Structure formats: C-alpha cells, structure tokens
Amino acid sequence: MSDGTLPVDFSWAPLAAELIVTDIERSLWFWRDVIGFAVAYERPEEQFAYLDLAGAQVMLSQRDNMGRWINAELQPPFGRGINLQVGVVDLEPPVERLQAANWPLYIAVEEKWYRAGDIDVGVSQFVVSDPDGYLLRLSKPLGRRVAKPESVR
C-alpha cells in the first residue's frame, strides 16, 4: 500500500526472500503490475519494497543500497540456481499481463505431476525470468493422485 499502512490482514511470512535488484522501479512494475503482487509497504528513500501475493512474500532492494548484504560479485542473471515458486489460484491473469507486456516465458504453461511419497501432486505452472534474471514459477494446484507404482521407491 503506497500510503504507508499495512493491510489489516497482513502478517509476515516465516520465510521471505530479499532480492537484490538493479532498478527498483522496473522490478516493481514487473512484480506488482505484471505478476500481481501487492506492495505491503515501501521505504522509497532506501529503494526497498515488501511485496505480498496471498501470503507469498518477497522483498526488493536496489543494489546500490545493499553493500553489507552482497557477499560476492553480482553478475546477471541474479539468483542462479534457485527458482521462487508461488502458489496461485489462477494462472491466466499473470499470463495475459505477461503477453500484453511482450514478456517471454522461460517455461511455457504446462501440467506437471510431482511424486511426494506415495502420491503425485499435480500443478499447472509456468516459469518467467524477472528483470534481473530471478526465476519465478507460478503454480496452480491440480490435485493429488496415487503415485504410479514405478515411480514409488
């Protein structure tokens, strides 16, 4: 919320990634306007924003202000080796906004089933790279089913 107040039902998630970004305004445009996160609060003087999407939370901090938090040279793409999965109710709105912005998907929308013990958990998902190269995977649940015998160990 840009007026500086937190939403009434806001609470901090037990885990929230803080992403170092090169341009806070471009990153806010992507995360807020295209993907659909809300700004829970900002510190514009620090080029910082705390974002929330139905309890999934991420912090954005412009690189210029992150000196003590940078433990190695940053080279694009940032976030190598991780992808941030966010559970959503509907994939269509962010996909439509990405298409309208002419922003490419890293992995197109797909149905995927992942084994979890003796069940398979299904999702419809896609992956997109943010302006700094962080991979964001939006995932809509499809349900559960008994795992195929050959996949259970």
Confidence grade of residue 14 (pLDDT, cut at 50, 70, 90)? confident
Sheet holding 83-87, edge to edge: 83-87, 135-146, 119-129, 105-116
Give the mean pLDDT of the chain. 89
**Distance (Å, rounded) from C-alpha 111 to C-alpha 97?**
20
Computed from CA positions of residues 61, 30, 92, 37, in that sequence, does the dihedral angle turn out positive or negative? positive
Whole-number pLDDT of residue 19: 93
Question: Considering the chain, what percentage of its residues have pLDDT values greater than 70?
Answer: 86
Strands 119-129 and 105-116: antiparallel
CATH 3.30.70.370 fits domain 17-66+78-151: no
Whole-number pLDDT of residue 1: 43
Q: What is the pLDDT of residues 77-132, one digit of tens each?
A: 888 888 999 999 999 999 999 999 999 999 999 999 999 999 999 999 999 999 99
Strands (E), the chain: 17-21, 38-43, 48-53, 56-62, 83-87, 105-116, 119-129, 135-146
Question: Hey, is 26 helix, strand or coil?
Answer: helix
Give the pLDDT mean for 50-58.
94
